[in-house]
Amino acid sequence: MIGRPPLAERVLAERVHAVPPSGIRRFFDIAATMDDVISLGVGEPDFDTPRVIVEAGVESLREGRTHYTSNHGTIELRQALADHLERRYEVRYDPATEILITVGASEALDLALRATCDPGDEVILHEPSYVAYVPAIVFAGGVPRQVATRFEDDFALDPSAVEAAITPRTKALFLGYPSNPTGAVLPDEVQDELAAIAERHDLLVYSDEIYDRLAYGDYRHRAFSALPGMRERTILMGGFSKAYAMTGWRVGYVAAPIGILEGLVKVHQYGIMSAPTTAQDAALAAVHDGEADVERMLAEYDRRRRLLVDGLNALGLDTFEPRGAFYAFPRITSTRLDDETFTERLLSEERVAVVPGSAFGPSGAGHVRMCYATSYAGLETALERIGRFVERARA
Ligand SMILES: Cc1ncc(COP(=O)(O)O)c(C=O)c1O
């Protein structure tokens, strides 16, 4: 029909139209068509899944464990996670009723929001932050209220800014620390203040702690639900992708008090049924036998972290010290380029792929994200190339 917009435009839901495509993927697609690219773009370990975990997955298939599991996931994995969370963070969850195994932390995020957001509920979220948070809130019918964090504060979240963003419609606070894209962590005193705010304003807290094991120097991660009074109001989300190098297995988890978890299970059971059985069996081996491998990979990330952060600062790209995850977030304003142009030109002129900081929120502008989960030698070459590029840009 003449004058009508195309069908796709008319049939897609408003909330889908409202969310732009990911600002990350465009650069990966370009990089994929080029030779000799060093990618600091994708947030994924360069290590293959440790042998002991792979073997458990293979064994699971050989034994014919090719069927659905309980909607909650296998009781063995839930028990192992409950013990793990208690041992590391001194917070206790009942494996039978308070832990759910999901298809990655990605499903955990989606479930948590869909099970708890009513239309118009406001969710306070720090930015820059992981690209999936705002879409997950919007798809669930919620309204994201972003709170800026700044380079000058090492991208720490300011509790008074959180409190200032609270309105009568505020339902929840969303925390994603250690942070993708900045590598920032929440200092203990900030966590304590945020917990007091959550209590004072009766907020639900979503806490994405997928990078909990990737912590450096003297930083010790604390689970948000382990803080006094927080267990009952926190949905704790985690996964196996990062610490155990298991991105392709698609397995993660949620831990929450029984009443809340029941709601998430309802959404999961109709939408997913159960997380992949092979991946659950492999994840069980990861929790039981993967510790030495986590420590080995962590030590190597730390070595690369120091190389990259020192190298970038030496090039005059101001980079604060990331204490968690595997990202550096240099400020690139000294090149007089904006982050999109910097990213495009660095890729086409020197074949180094990074991600523009503005893809993670307005306060990411003027920065780029570099993932150091790539080889040490690759990082050394990337630094040489970035050095050449920066010199040219400043000339
Ligand atoms: C902060 C954050 N949360 C969640 C995810 C999703 O992880 P998964 O592979 O467990 O779905 C990622 C992946 O990049 C991430 O960076």
Q: What is the pLDDT of residues 335-360, one digit of tens each?
A: 999 999 999 999 999 999 999 999 99
Sign of CA pseudo-dihedral 20, 25, 26, 27: positive
- Mutate which of 24, 25, 42, 106 to test ligand 1's pocket (most atoms within 8 Å of Cβ)? 106
pLDDT at 22: 76
Of the options 3.40.50.10880, 3.50.50.60, 3.40.1190.20, 3.40.640.10, the CATH number for the domain spanning 51-290: 3.40.640.10
Residue 290 has pLDDT above 80, yes or no: yes
pLDDT at 123: 98
Ligand 1 centroid to residue 211 C-alpha, Å: 9
pLDDT at 23: 67
CA distances from 158 to 153, 164, 165, 220, 369 (A): 9, 10, 11, 20, 22
β-pair type (252-255, 99-102): antiparallel
> Is there a shared CATH topology between the 7-48+292-390 domain and the 51-290 domain?
no
Which atom belonging to ligand 1 lies closest to the Cα atom of 208? 3
Which residues' Cβ are closer than 6 Å to ligand 1?
Answer: 43, 104-106, 130, 176, 180, 208, 210, 239, 241, 247, 252
- Mutate which of 28, 102, 129, 130 to test ligand 1's pocket (most atoms within 8 Å of Cβ)? 130
CB 180 within 8 A of CB 242: no
Ligand 1 centroid to residue 105 C-alpha, Å: 6
Based on C-alpha coordinates, what's the Rg of the chain?
A: 21
3-state secondary structure of 368: strand
Nearest CA to ligand 1 atom 16: 180
Say what percent of the chain tops pLDDT 70: 99
Nearest CA to ligand 1 atom 14: 43
Ligand 1 centroid to residue 242 C-alpha, Å: 8
pLDDT at 281: 98
DSSP state of 117: P
pLDDT at 1: 57
DSSP string computed for 205-259? EEEE-TTTT-B-TT-----GGGSTTTGGGEEEEEESTTTTT-GGG--EEEE--HH
- Average pLDDT across the chain, whole number: 95
**Encoded amino acid at 63, one letter:** E
Ordered by start, the domain boundaries in the chain are: 7-48+292-390, 51-290
Ligand 1 centroid to residue 194 C-alpha, Å: 23
Ligand 1 centroid to residue 395 C-alpha, Å: 39
Which atom belonging to ligand 1 lies closest to the Cα atom of 129? 1
- Mutate which of 81, 207, 236, 241 to test ligand 1's pocket (most atoms within 8 Å of Cβ)? 241
Ligand 1 centroid to residue 217 C-alpha, Å: 23
Ligand 1 centroid to residue 69 C-alpha, Å: 23
Q: What is the pLDDT of residues 90-146, one digit of tens each?
A: 999 999 999 999 999 999 999 999 999 999 999 999 999 999 999 999 999 999 999
Residue 64: pLDDT band with limits 50, 70, 90: very high
The average pLDDT across 56-83 equals: 98
Q: What is the pLDDT of residues 1-32, one digit of tens each?
A: 568 888 888 899 888 888 888 767 777 778 88
CA distances from 103 to 188, 332, 360 (A): 30, 36, 23
29 Cβ partners below 8 Å, 6+ apart? none
Sign of CA pseudo-dihedral 231, 131, 371, 128: negative
CATH homologous superfamily of 7-48+292-390: Aspartate Aminotransferase, domain 1 (3.90.1150.10)
Q: What is the pLDDT of residues 207-263, one digit of tens each?
A: 999 999 999 999 999 999 999 999 999 999 999 999 999 999 999 999 999 999 999
Residue 42 has pLDDT above 60, yes or no: yes
Ligand 1 centroid to residue 390 C-alpha, Å: 31
